[in-house]
Amino acid sequence: MFWSIIQALLNGLVSGTILAVPAIGFTAIFAVLRYPNFAIGSLATIGAYAGWFANVRLGWPLEASFGLAFTGAGIAALAAEWLAVRPLEKTGALMMAICSLAVGIVLENMVRFGFGNEPRGFNVPLMRDIRLGDLRISPQQIENFAVALGLMALLWAALNFTRMGRAMRATADNPDLAKLKGVQPATVAAITVLVGGGLAGIGGMLVALDTAADPLTGFRLILSVFAAAVLGGLGSIPGAVLGALIIGMAEELTVLLLAPNYRTAIGFAVILIVLSIRPSGLFGEKSS
Amino acid sequence: MVNYIIFILVVAGVYALLAQSLTLSWGLAGLVNLGLVGFFAIGAYASAMTTKWGGWPIPLGLLAAVLLGLATGFLVTVSTLRLRDDYLAIVTLGFAEVVRLVASNEVWLTGGTDGIAGVPAIIPRAWGPNYHLTMLAIVSALAIGTCLLVNHLAKSPWGRALRAVREDQVVAAVAGKPVVVLKAQAFSIAAAIAALAGAIYGHYTSYVAPDIYQPLITIYVFLAVTAGGVGRPVGAFVGAYLLIGFLELTRFMAEVVPGISPVQAAATREIMVGLALILLLRLKPNGLMPEKNQKSPAGTFPTGASR
């Protein structure tokens, strides 16, 4: 039992780190544009298919395929933002959220139209699990973990050391003040959506690498993404990372107790409990 | 063909009930319930299980559905109403998925993914064509009745207070309105209406299974309410029939496109549904029958400031 708990925590660390990638995307879009983008699941699906297309159809290596997953999902996110969601800005965040839900349906079904419902596996070599005493981990898991971690490091550096990164944080913190300081809100919003959507795309591809890409890849992910972002406090990037790690480990631990199908319900249970105690999440802003 | 049209109209009546549910929670109280389909499912299961397995008479099954809808609606609100609106949207979306997960996995309770077949009918199916016609009458009457009820609620002082909460809950609270209580009441009653719709639909189609309760149904209802008029019960009622007309239209349109597979046809329909909602939100966000500004009754104005 002891080792199975450690194994579950190890799996949770890996899946939580992967989950953090789309959760950062979701929460970053919320931080700057002030609405929950429900298309995030479909954007993850688009990333999974873009990565699969590059890897299997075009024969690219995985590293380059991640690039196409990021670009494809990022561009889709930006197009949807400009064409559908942005024009509703004056009607309020909830209308934009509902619109993003409709956008998600359109995007998911465009993927279904193009590629059908069959699962699409990636072209990755089968490798033996690495054993460490009673623990086991697959090389693919290690690679996915490394990609997710590297991406987060890159993002952290970009947010802290580049002009645009600082402009994004300033806009999230206080849009009026940022504007006063010469930050272009439209540019910041566009880049946030591009990067946020791209991160969702990479998240989708990371998940699909473990199993396969299908039109519901992203949809299966969204409850955990929401749970991670809400748990950490909507709009907080460190919160989303911590939330994702907690949700990832909680999901893996409950597999020991409950039917694996309940994995996605765990995130929901965790956020209900946390929100009942702290209505703005762990790192959320206090007032509305 | 006639039977097909009657069937479609019964389904439209069920959606008219769902549209009233959303009008109450979203239109009047401003609470975005993205888990509408979860309450729809709960009602369907409550009535199907009690009547099929428990042998209860159908009116009691419907009552069980309404009460369970009310209770779960209340439970969801208790844990979420102090939260900001965007959190509520996320939590309700998750709630509907959890309902579907439980329905799929608790085989001992719900029959699992196989669902419950042979749910008893409200009136004998042996009536043949008259069965569908009588069901049409029952469902339409129920939909109209609920529409009138919600309309009445909307015009009552309670409904005015709800709209005040929707517009600005701080101001409403300052004016002495019990904001959280009002929201909880509206959300729970709306959940009960959705549960009733689910129960009726289950009895009519005689089949209840987790796969029926897809999140897309919630989108359909949002489309209906947006098309008809947010915050206007009559508009939502009309919107439900427009929705079903539109869904049938997309069916024919998808069939007309040459050389696409059934999967692609289904995807095309859903794309059209999504695009319709996006376009409506952009071009006619208040629907065909926008909510009217309520004027205070003549003569009461000088003293109307009380309460």
With contacts defined as CB-CB under 8 Å, which chain A residues touch B86? Answer: 30, 35-36, 93-94, 97, 234
CB within 8 Å: B97 and A265? yes
Give the H or E element holding residue B17: helix B2-22
CB within 8 Å: B86 and A35? yes
CB within 8 Å: B277 and A275? no
* B283 Cβ contact list (under 8 Å, min separation 6): none
Q: pLDDT at residue B12 above 90?
A: yes
Q: Could you give the 3-state DSSP secondary structure of residue A213?
A: strand
**Is the backbone of residue A222 left (phi > 0), alpha (psi -120 to 50) or beta?**
alpha
Q: Residue A72: its pLDDT value, please?
A: 97
With contacts defined as CB-CB under 8 Å, which chain A residues touch B80? Answer: 272, 275
CB within 8 Å: A265 and B277? no
CA geometry: angle A59, A65, A67, nearest 5 deg? 145
Confidence band (pLDDT; 50, 70, 90) for B254? Answer: confident
Q: pLDDT at residue A285 above 70?
A: no
What digits encode the pLDDT tens for the residues B96-109? 999 999 999 888 88
**For B277, nearest residue in chain A (alpha carbons):** A102
Question: How many angstroms separate the CA atoms of A212 and A206, rounded?
Answer: 10
Burial of A236 (0-12, 13-18, 19+ CB in 10 A): buried
Size of interface A-B (CB pairs under 8 A): 126
Q: pLDDT at residue B229 above 60?
A: yes
Q: How far is B167 from chain A (nearest CA, A)?
A: 12
Q: pLDDT at residue A262 above 50?
A: yes
Give the mean pLDDT of chain B: 90
Q: Residue A15: its pLDDT value, please?
A: 94
CB within 8 Å: A116 and B277? no
CB within 8 Å: B84 and A288? yes
Q: pLDDT at residue B289 above 60?
A: yes
pLDDT-above-70 percentage for chain B:
95
What digits encode the pLDDT tens for the residues A183-209? 888 899 999 999 999 999 999 999 999
Confidence band (pLDDT; 50, 70, 90) for A74? Answer: very high
Q: Could you give the 3-state DSSP secondary structure of residue A130?
A: strand
pLDDT-above-90 percentage for chain A:
66
Confidence band (pLDDT; 50, 70, 90) for B294? Answer: low
* In contact, A226 and A243? CB cutoff 8 Å: no
Confidence band (pLDDT; 50, 70, 90) for B307? Answer: very low
Least confident interval from A197-206, A209-218, B288-297: B288-297
**For A264, nearest residue in chain B (alpha carbons):** B98
What digits encode the pLDDT tens for the residues A11-69? 999 999 999 999 999 999 999 999 999 999 999 999 999 999 999 999 999 999 999 99
Which one, of B60, B26, B65, B64, lies nearest residue B44 by Cα? B65
CB within 8 Å: B34 and A103? no
Q: How far is A283 from chain B (nearest CA, A)?
A: 14
Model ipTM over 0.90: yes
Q: pLDDT at residue B297 above 80?
A: no
With contacts defined as CB-CB under 8 Å, which chain A residues touch B277? Answer: 98-99, 102
List phi, psi (to 5°) of A221.
-85, -25
Interface of B with A (CB under 8 A): 30, 32, 34, 79-80, 82-87, 89-91, 93-95, 97-98, 101-102, 104-105, 216, 219, 222, 261, 263-264, 266-268, 270-271, 273-275, 277-278, 281-282, 285
Give the mean pLDDT of chain A: 91
**Is the backbone of residue B89 left (phi > 0), alpha (psi -120 to 50) or beta?**
alpha
CB within 8 Å: B270 and A109? yes
* B77, B281, B284: best to mutate for the A interface, most A CBs within 10 A: B281
DSSP assigned state of B83: S
User: What is the average pLDDT across A139-149?
Assistant: 92
Question: How many angstroms separate the CA atoms of A233 and A224, rounded?
Answer: 14
In the block, residue with structure tokens 């999440």: A281
